[in-house]
Structure 1
Amino acid sequence: MSIETIHGNLKGLKSSQLKQLQRLYHQRQPRDRATTPEFAQRVAAISTDINQPVSAYINRRGQVIRVGVGSPRETQIPPLELPRYGAKRLSGIRCVTTALKSDPPKKPSLTAMVLQRLDVLVTLTLTGQGFQRRGGGATGYVESAYLAHLAPESDPNREQGLYWTVSPPLSLDVVTQQDFLDLVEGLEAEFEREYVAQQVDISHQRVVVVGLMTADLDHQQFADGLAEVTRLVDTAGGEVLQTITQRRSRPHPQTVIGAGKVQEIAIAVQTLGASLVAFDQDLTPAQARNLEQEIGVRVIDRTELILDIFAQRARSRAGKLQVELAQLEYLLPRLVGRGEAMSRLGGGIGTRGPGETKLETERRRIQKRVSRLQQEVNQLQSHRSRMRQQRQKQEVPTIAVVGYTNAGKSTLLNNLTHAEIYAEDQLFATLDPTTRRLNVPCQGEMKTILLTDTVGFIKELPPALIDAFRATLEEVSEADAMLHVVDLSHSAWESQIESVSKILEAMPIMPPESLLVFNKIDQVDSETLSYAKEHFPEAVYISAEKRLGLETLREKMGEMIINA
C-alpha cells in the first residue's frame, strides 16, 4: 500500500481532487500545536470542493500518516494497526477533520476518537466557501473549531457516562495557538495515575468477559454460565475488569453479538486497558477473527480458556501430551487470518502450550505433530490398559471418583487416603489422575481398594478434550464402581449432575455400581439439604474438608465392592 493512499469513500472524485488529498501527506505539522491555520484551511478547502468531510491523522512527530474522505468513524485506523499502550497512554495520533454543518462533533466521531485513543480530535466547521474580508484578503473556509479529547475518571463528564470532553466552538486562532503537548502530557499523567490505582496485580492479564443470553437459556442458566467463565478466567490467571452482556434470540453469524455491542466492548477495552476479551460460548474461527479486527485485542472463547487452564495444570508427561494434542486440534482450523499473531509465540491466557505459528510453513508440521501425538496417546492408552489388567489380576477392586470441576474430589481423596494431591478452590485444580490405596470395612473385615481421582468435568466439555483425555476417562469405564461427587453448595448443583451424567453416558462402558456423594454440606442451609435428601435418599452426605460423614462413605464403598 502506498504511503499516500487515500482512504474512505472516493467514489466520484476527480484525479485533481485526489492529488490535492495526497498532497496533505507532505504538510509537516508542528509538534506542539494540534495543527496550523494553513493546514486547517487547506483541509477545509478540499472538503468544501468535494462536499464531503475530510479527516487527516497526524503523529506526534508532526507527520500526516493517514488521509481519508469521510468522518473519523468512516476513516478510522483499524484497531490492530494502532499502538497498544492501553489505558495509561494515548495513541500518539491526533485527527483534524471537517464537518459540513456548524454542529459539534457527533457521537460516532467521538466514539471513534475513544476507540483509537486519539490525542485530540479537532473538528473544523465550514463556512460553505471561502470569502473575502472587507479590507481584502481571504478569511478562508473555517468558521469555527471544536477541540475534543478523552475524559479521565475525574472529569465530570464521566459521571454522565461520557468518555470525552468537547470544547465550545472556538476560533481557529485559539485552537492553533493552544499548547497541544501540554494538554496531551497532562492527560497521560492523569491516565497513568488512574491505571496504577486500578491495578491489583500486574502479573494478571486484564480481561473483559462477554456473555450472550440466547432464547434457549433462562436467566439462571445464563447467570451460572457467566459466573463459570469468570471463575475460569480467574483460574487461568486473569483479572476480570468488566462483564458485558447482551440478549439476542440467536448469535450473530459474523460477530456473535450486535455491532453496537462490539463497539461498546471496544470502548471498554480501551478505557480499562484490557488485553483480552473472553466470551462465555464457543466462537467459530471467522467470528473470532472478525471480533479481533473490530476490538483490537485478542479474543478467546470458552474452549480456548479451558484448554489454557489444562495447559497450566498438566504435570505428567501423559497430561502434557493430551493437552498439546487438544490445543493443536483446536488451533488448526483457526490458523487462517490470525495475522501477525501467527508469526510469534504468545504470552498470557489462550497462548500457552504449543503456541501459534505461520500458516504457510506450519500447517503441515502441525498435522504431522497431531498424528504423532495421537500415536503417543494410543500408546499411553495401551500402557494404562496393561496396568489395569495387572491390578485386576491382583483382584484389587477399583473405585473411580468423578464429578464436576471444583466439587471437592481431590480434597476427599486426600482426607480418605492421606494423599497429598493439590487441592484448591479453583476449577481444574488437578488434571492428572491419581490412584491411592484405601482400606474399607467389608463383611466384617477390612478390605483394600484402589481409589482413583479423575479430571473434573464441566458443562459442554470441548470435544477436543473428550477425545484427547479418553485414556484418562477410561479409568472410569474400567473401574468396578464409581463415586459421583457433587458440590451441594453450588447454585447450579442439579444441572452439574446432569452435565456429568451426559458425559458419562457417552462413554462405551459404565461401572455397574454408582453412588452419589453430596459434598460441602457444611456450606448449605437446611432447606437445600432437606431438598437434596428428599430427592436423592440413597446418596451420602459429607463435608470432605471438615471430615463429616467420611466413615459412612467408607462403609458404603465396602458395600459397593462386595460383588466386584
Structure 2
Amino acid sequence: METIFGNLQGLKSSQLKQLQRLYHQRIPGDRITTPEFSQRLAAISTEINQPVCAYLNRRGQVIRVGVGTPRQTQIPPLELPRYGAERLSGIRCIATNLKPEPPNDAALTAMALQRLDALVVLNITGSGFQRRGGGATGYVKETYLAHLISNTKQLALTQHGLNATGINAQDSTLYSSVSPPLSLDMLAQEDFIELVEGLEAEFQREFIAQEVDADHDRVLIVGLFTERTNPQQFQDTLAELARLVDTAGGDVLQTVQQKRSRVHPQTVVGEGKVQEIALTAQTLGANLVVFDRDLSPSQVRNLEAQIGVRVVDRTEVILDIFAQRAQSRAGKLQVELAQLEYMLPRLTGRGQAMSRLGGGIGTRGPGETKLETERRGIGKRISRLQQEVTQLQAHRSRLRQQRQHREVPSVALVGYTNAGKSTLLNTLTNAEVYTADQLFATLDPTTRRLVIPHIDTNEPQAVLITDTVGFIHELPASLMDAFRATLEEVTEADALLHLVDLSHPAWLSHIRSVREILAQMPVTPGPALVAFNKIDQVDSETLALAQEEFPLAVFISASQRLGLETLRQRLAHLIQYAVDSR
C-alpha cells in the first residue's frame, strides 16, 4: 500500500484512499502538470481542508504524496537521488495552498534544500461549498511556478529590473525565480523539458567556471562557539581545522559558525543551523561536512540524515592524515590500531549498510548478526595489533638499553605539528627526512647522530636526537594510545628539545598544548630546552615578547641556519644536567 506522508490525523479512510490513488496518476513527460491532475489535487485538498503536495519524477510519475506544506512534506536528503551543484534532483513538487498568496520563504527553502526541478503552487478557492453527494469542492484560482536559477541568471534579471528571490545560506545565496500569477491553462502549456535543460545548462557552466577538482573532497567546515570557548582559541581551532582538511587533500569551500550556550545533544548545532548547513552544502556542491569537535555515532547519523552528505569530525580527519603519512611498518601498524579503536564504538547504527533493527525481543534480525560479526572481527584485529605494538615496544626498549649501555645520551625533538622539527633534524645532522609546509608531514620517528661540544673539555661528543610525531591541540585519545610505542621515545630520552614555531599566531597556545600532552605521559619526561624556530619570519615585537616570557629559551631559524651554534652549546649544557641528574 502506498505511503502517505505528513499530518494524517483526523483523515477518514476514504480520504486516505483518494490520496493513495494519486500514485496511479501520470503526467506527460514534457508537461509540468495538467489541468486534470491539478484540479484533482485541489479537490482533495479542499475536502480535507489541508494543503497537499505531490512529488513527481521526470517521467511524470508520482513518487511521493504528503499532507502539509512543501516544508512539512519534503523528502529527506538521504532519500533524494544523488546530484551535484551542476544538476537538479530530477523531482518537482506540485503543492496546493489554501491562502491566495505566492510561495513563501519556507516553501522556497524546501525547494532549494531538495534542489527541485520546479515548485508549482496551486492557490485554490471554493472551500466550504458543498458538492452533490456530500463533501466540499474547490478549484484552482491561480498558480505560481518557482524554480532555482544560477547566480549569472540572477545578475541578468537584476540588470533588467526583474526580481529574483535570494535563499540565504550564510555567505552563499541560492536564487529562485517566482512567476507572476498564471492561469492553469498557461501553466499546463509550459515546456517542462526545455525549462529543466536550460536551468541545468546554466548551473553546469557556472560549476565548470569554479574549476572544481573532482579528485578532492569539497568540504564545508562547521564550528560551534560555546560559553566555555575563548574567542581567539575558537578562531585558531577553525584555522587549524582548515589546515588539517587541506593536508588531508580536501578543498575548504566555506566555514559555518554558530554560537550556543551548550552543544545540542542530537545535532551539535541547532535545528535552524542544520538546515542552513544543508542548504550551504548543496549550494556550493560540498560532499563532506567536517565538525570542529568529536561527534557521537548518533550525532553523525542525525546530521547525515538531515544534511544529505557525509559528516566526519576532527579526529577522523587527523586519522586520515596519519594513514596517508605512515611509511614504516610500525607507523602503519599504529595508525590501523588507532582507526579500529576509533571505529569500534561507532559501529552501532552507523549508516544503512548495517541495517540494524534494534535490541531486544522481536527486534533482532540479519542486521544485528552482521553488526556483531563486524564487531567481533574488529575486536580480534585490535587484539592482534595490540600484541604487535607490544612487540614493537619491546624492540624499541632493547634499542634504548643498547644506547644506555654505550652511554650515548639521547634527545627527543618534540613540538606542535609543523613547528619545523624535521627541518631542524636535517640541518643539524644532514639527515634526509621528508619536510613540507603541512601538518603531520612526517609521522615515523627518525633517530640520527648529532655531534655537540662537551661543556668541560670542549671536545666533540655524540648524542642521539630523535624526531618524534608532531603534537596537536587535544590530540585524540585513540592516537595517544596507539602511538604509545613511538611516544616512549619522548619519555625515555635523557632530555627534550621543545621546538616552537614563533611565526604562528597561536604559538603560546601551542606551547600549552605540548606541555599538556607531555604531562599525560605515563613516565615524566626529562628536562626540556625551549627553542623558538622561524625567527626570520617574525617582527621585533613578537620576538621581544617571547624573550620576556621565556628568558632561558634559544632562538633559531632552522631553514636559514641562524642560532644553531648557540643551540648546540645549550644542548650540551642540557644533556650534562640530565646525565648528572640520573
Taking structure 1 as the reference length, the TM-score comes to 0.94
> Among the aligned pairs, what percent are the same residue?
71
Q: What CA distance in whole angstroms lies between the structure 2 residues aligned with 1:392 and 1:484? A: 22
Deviation of the 1:164 alpha carbon: 1.7
SS in 2 for 1:282: coil
Kindly report which structure 2 residues correspond to 1:461-476, keeping only aligned pairs within 5 A, or say none.
461-476=475-490
Within a 5 Å distance, the mapping from 1:387-466 to structure 2 comes to 387-443=399-455, 444-466=458-480
- 1:498 pairs with one of 503, 512, 525: 512
* Offset, 1:360: 4.3
Give the Cα–Cα distance (whole angstroms) in 2 for the partners of residues 181 and 200 of structure 1: 27
Q: Which residue of 2 aligns with 1:554?
A: 568
Query: Does residue 149 in structure 1 map to residue 163 in structure 2?
Result: no
User: What is the match of residue 37 of structure 1?
Assistant: 35
- 2:49: which partner in 1? 51
The answer to which of 152-161 and 451-460 deviates more is 152-161
Q: Which residue of 1 aligns with 2:219?
A: 207
**1:232-381 matches, cutoff 5 A:** 232-340=244-352, 359-381=371-393
In the alignment, is the contact (CA less than 8 A) between 1:151 and 1:158 conserved in 2?
A: no
Counterpart Cα distance in 2 of 1:117 and 1:337 = 28
Shift of 1:201: 2.6
Query: In the TM superposition, what is the alpha-carbon distance from 1:159 to its structure 2 partner?
Result: 6.9
Pairing 1:52-71 to 2, within 5 Å after superposition = 52-71=50-69
Q: Which amino acid aligns with 2:490?
A: V
* d(CA) in 2 for partners of 1:534, 1:508: 32
* Corresponding residue SS for 1:88: coil
Q: Distance in 1 between matches of 2:279 and 2:373?
A: 36
State the superposition RMSD in angstroms: 1.8
Tell me the equivalent position of 2:536.
Answer: 522
Q: Which runs of 5+ in 1 are unaligned?
A: 133-138, 344-356
Match of 2:121 in 1: 123
- Total equivalences in the alignment: 544
* Paired residues of 1:321 and 1:373 also in contact (CA < 8 A): yes
Q: Deviations over 1:240-298 (max 9, x none)?
A: 11111011111111111111111010001111110000011111111111111110001
Amino acid at match of 2:470: G
Q: 2:548 aligns with which of 521, 534, 538?
A: 534
How far residue 390 of structure 1 moved from its aligned partner, in angstroms, is 1.2
Residue 376 of structure 1, CA deviation: 1.2
1:317 corresponds to which letter in structure 2?
R
The residue aligned with 1:26 is 24
Q: 1:217 to 1:44 in 2, by over 3 A?
A: same
State the shift of 1:131 in Å: 8.0
* Matched residue, 1:96: 94
- Paired residue for 1:347? none
Question: C-alpha deviations, 1:119-154, integer Å up to 9, x for none?
Answer: 00001110134989xxxxxx9611111111112111
Does residue 483 (structure 1) correspond to residue 497 (structure 2)? The answer is yes
In 1, the alpha carbon distance for the partners of 2:87 and 2:354 equals 26
Partner Cα separation in structure 1 for residue 503 and residue 382 of structure 2 = 40
Q: Quick one: distance in 2 between partners of 1:321 and 1:295?
A: 34
Ranges in structure 2 where 5+ consecutive residues have no aligned partner: 131-136, 156-163, 168-172, 356-368
Cα displacement string for residues 511-553 of structure 1 (whole angstroms, at most 9, x for unaligned residues):
3321001001111100000110111111010111111111111
Q: Secondary structure at the match of 2:569?
A: helix
Structure 2 CA distance, aligned partners of 1:197 and 1:280? 30
Task: Tell me how far apart the structure 2 counterparts of residues 37 and 58 of structure 1 sit (CA, whole Å).
Answer: 15
Letter in 1 for 2:83: Y
Q: Aligned equivalents of 2:354 and 2:324: distance in 1? A: 21
| Maintained 8 Å contact 1:88/1:192 | yes
2:523 equivalent in structure 1? 509
Deviation at 1:336?
Answer: 2.2
Cα separation, 1, equivalents of 2:351 and 2:101: 39
Change (3 A) 1:481 1:107: same
Kept in 2: contact 1:399–1:483 (CA 8 A): yes
Seen in structure 2, the aligned counterparts of structure 1 residues 371 and 324 have a Cα distance that, compared at 3 Å, is same
Instruction: Quote the offset at 1:162 in angstroms.
Output: 5.2
CA contact (8 A) 1:130 1:141 kept: no
**What is the letter of the counterpart of residue 223 of structure 1?**
Q
Q: Supply the distance in 1 between the matched residues of 2:488 and 2:207 (Cα, whole angstroms).
A: 49
Distance in 2 between residues matched to 1:175 and 1:17, nearest whole Å:
27
Residue identity in the other structure for 1:42: R
Summarize deviations over 1:364-401 as a string: whole Å, max 9, x none. Answer: 11111111111111111111111111111121111000
Tell me the residue number matched to 2:196. 184
CA pair 297-106 structure 1, distance change in 2 beyond 3 A: same
Q: Is the 8 A contact 2:126 2:138 kept in 1?
A: no
Given that residues 87 and 270 in structure 1 are in contact (C-alpha distance below 8 angstroms), is that contact kept between their aligned partners in structure 2? yes
The one-letter code of the counterpart of 2:25 is Q
The Cα of 1:167 is off from its aligned counterpart by 1.2
- Match of 1:352? none
Q: Secondary structure at the match of 2:374?
A: helix
For 1:307 and 1:223, how far apart are their aligned partners in 2? 22
Q: What does residue 226 of structure 1 align with? A: 238
How big is the shift at 1:188?
Answer: 0.4
Structure 2: distance between partners of 1:182 and 1:131? 39
Distance 1:485 1:358 in 2: 48
Give 2:73's aligned residue.
Answer: 75
Whether the aligned pair in 1 keeps the contact of 2:518 and 2:525 (CA below 8 Å) is no
Distance 1:57 1:360, change over 3 A: farther
CA contact (8 A) 2:445 2:468 kept: yes
Q: Is the 8 A contact 2:443 2:470 kept in 1?
A: yes
Q: Give CA-to-partner distance per residue, 1:315-336, whole Å, 9 cap, x none.
A: 1111111111111111112122
Q: Is the 8 A contact 1:152 1:158 kept in 2?
A: no
SS at match of 2:275: helix
One-letter amino acid of the counterpart of residue 125, structure 2: T
C-alpha contact 2:531 2:553 (8 A) present in aligned 1: yes
Distance 1:10 1:140, change over 3 A: closer
Tell me the distance in 2 between the aligned counterparts of 1:428 and 1:481.
Answer: 22
Match of 1:94, SS? Answer: strand
Whole-angstrom distance in 2 between the partners of 1:506 and 1:105: 58
Of residues 401-410 and 198-207 in structure 1, the stretch that sits farther from structure 2 once superposed is: 198-207
Greater mean alpha carbon deviation, residues 269-278 or residues 370-379: 370-379
Are 1:100 and 1:128, in contact at CA under 8 Å, matched by a contact in 2? no
Conserved 8 A contact 1:124-1:142? yes
Letter in 1 for 2:520: A
